[in-house]
Amino acid sequence: MLRLFLLILLTAAQAISSPAANAQEAKAQTPAPAVRGVWLTNVASDALYSRENIREAVGLCSELGFNVIFVVTWNDTYTTYPSAHVEAVTGQAIHPDFAGRDPLQELIEEAHAKGIKVFAWFEFGFSATMNDSTGGIILQKNPHWASRDQQGRITEKNGFQWMNPFHPKVQDFVKGLVLEAVRNYDIDGIQGDDRLPALPSNGGYDEFTTQLYQSEHSGQKPPAHYQDYEWVKWRSAKLSLFLAGLVQEVRAAKPELAISMAPSIYPWSEENYLQNWPEWMAMGLVDLIIPQVYRYNLEAYQREMNRILTRQLHPSDRERFVPGVLLQVNDYNPTEELLEGFINYNREHGIPGEVFFFFEGIKKFKGYFKEKYKDRPAFPAFIKPGLPAH
């Protein structure tokens, strides 16, 4: 009888304690949220060129453990979705290769069905064209929108021609482009990169910007040296103000949307493209910052990451930081050993994820990612608008 009584007590105790124990065990087994992302382009990739290709691309991302796709939506004067806003300026509603389709909507449907987030990536930002000295249809129709260098030529760097990001009409055009996608699509976030907001520092000598500078500097003309410290700071501050206005409008339109930026590394980003992204973080403008830490050896990667983590990020911003890692460009891919070195460095420093440029590269490392990303963490819930500035 005593033995039976003790057995009943033990069974009851287990019944009471099991839910809590099971919950604790489940919590221990659930990986911490992390960003595991990839950029999806319409260049050097056919992923967006049919619904079936999109389905296959999303399926591969899901199979390998990726939880967010940053998809190009603005490239070389064209969108990858039907845009009445762009059509009103250029006469083209969508990239000709996508006529009759809506690749952005198709991707959203396929990705969300797999639990993958989608960010609209406005790749070209304030850049009008690539490898077109005329600036393309936008600047041909609106020559006063062009940024100019000291010789009066359209601002150009690395083959890209640029609009003037300080001109109100240009700002309205880019804001309208972003807001159109925000309002019309079930995207999870938006993203600018090294061209939004940005301008090569050899630009800013157009008539409008010169007069704006003079109005704030007692009639003085902009410095002849385009990397003059104060001249760089004046222009980068103007771009930070533009971003603040854009973010305010995006959050008003869709408060739950995440704001991501993928600038170049700092201070190179400010000296060359007027991007002071540590200031953006301090202003509370960015929910997810992804600097392009594109390095070809582990020592250089570690050096740049150490600089970011110790000098450029406030401790409260660490959870909003994820490095951009170069996985493929032209014929280049890192070795698996180098890729492992990048990711191991991240984990050793408390960084649970990364975003890779670009999608085609993951095909070369299927087995690697399937094993490395097998924990399949959820996309972080803390990446959301309204985080306070510090």
Q: Tell me, what's the pLDDT at 378?
A: 94
Evaluate if residue 385 carries a pLDDT over 60: no
Q: What is the pLDDT of residue 31?
A: 87
User: Domain range for residue 77?
Assistant: 35-372
pLDDT for res 29: 75
DSSP characters over 228-252? -HHHHHHHHHHHHHHHHHHHHHHHH
C-alpha–C-alpha distance, residues 57 and 237, integer Å: 39
Summary mean pLDDT of the chain: 93
pLDDT at 13 over 80: no
Is 17 inside any structural domain?
no
CATH code for the domain of 72: 3.20.20.80
Asked if residue 197 belongs to a domain, the reply is yes
pLDDT for res 141 = 97
Here the tokens at position 80 are 């990858």
Confidence of residue 30 (pLDDT cuts 50, 70, 90): confident
> Which alpha helices (DSSP H) does the chain contain, by range?
2-29, 51-64, 84-90, 103-113, 136-141, 168-184, 207-215, 229-253, 268-273, 277-282, 298-307, 336-348, 359-362, 366-372
* Lowest-confidence segment of 1-15, 16-30, 118-132 by average pLDDT: 1-15
Q: What is the pLDDT of residues 270-321, one digit of tens each?
A: 999 999 999 999 999 999 999 999 999 999 999 999 999 999 999 999 999 9
What was the pLDDT predicted at 238?
99
- For residue 325, name the pLDDT band (cuts at 50, 70, 90): very high
Q: Tell me, what's the pLDDT at 297? A: 98
Task: Please state the rounded mean pLDDT for residues 174-182.
Answer: 99
Domain count of the chain? 1
- Classify residue 85: in a domain, yes or no: yes
Nearest to 359 by CA among 151, 96, 53, 78: 53
Residue-wise pLDDT for 203-231, tens only, equals: 999 999 999 999 999 999 999 999 999 99
Q: Does residue 200 lie in a domain region?
A: yes
Mean of pLDDT values over 231-249: 99
Is the residue at 384 inside a domain?
Answer: no
Domain-located, residue 179: yes
Report which of 240, 247, 202, 239 is spatially closest to residue 222, judged by C-alpha positions. 202
Q: Is there a domain that residue 380 lies in? A: no
Q: Residue 297: inside a domain, yes or no?
A: yes
Distances (CA, A) of 88 to 74, 167, 177, 241: 15, 18, 11, 26
DSSP string covering 142-161 = -GGGB-B-TTSSBPEETTEE
Using pLDDT thresholds of 50, 70 and 90, give the confidence band for residue 383: low
What's the whole-model pTM score?
A: 0.91
Mean pLDDT of 163-191: 99
